[in-house]
Amino acid sequence: MVLEMIILRKIISIVLITIFVLLAAINSPAIAEPVTDLDHGAALFKANCAGCHANGGNIVRRGRNLKLKTLHKNKVDTQAAIAAIVTNGKNNMSAYQDKLTTQEIADVSAYVLRQAELNWK
């Protein structure tokens, strides 16, 4: 009986430590959206996106612009959603996963969302 109690205490300790480690990992900045550089995002946008999306517009398909109202309507109004489209492309838009790093995609996505929130001013 004493041996069973010792084993049970060890199991409970291991479970509690595991829960603590998992909770710490979930709240870790590594899992949150990456830290972004809006100035770098602006430079990347100018070099890679402005040809079609100058001032948040779209010269190919007017209805697929980067204005906040359109981003909301198309459910692309988060940095992660914008990054997914930049990474994988969609419809007429090319994918940039082979041209930009993950950090660069995060930077340009954060820039696009911020500019949309500022109405591209």
Contact yes or no for 52/94 (Cβ under 8 A): no
| DSSP one-letter code for 119 | T
DSSP codes joined into one string, 12-69? HHHHHHHHHHHHHHHTSTTTSPPP--HHHHHHHHHHHTHHHHGGG--SS-GGG---HH
pLDDT one-digit tens code per residue, 72-94: 999 999 999 999 999 999 998 99
pLDDT at 71 over 80: yes
* Amino acid 28: pLDDT: 54
| 83-110 mean pLDDT | 95
* Amino acid 23: pLDDT: 72
**Residues in contact with 19: Cβ distance below 8 Å, sequence separation at least 6, in sequence order:** none
pLDDT one-digit tens code per residue, 11-67: 887 877 877 777 776 665 555 566 899 999 999 999 999 999 999 999 998 888 999
Taking Cα atoms as reference points, which of 99, 43, 109 lies closest to residue 76? 109
Domain ranges of the chain: 1-32, 38-117
| 97-104 mean pLDDT | 96
CATH class of 38-117: mainly alpha
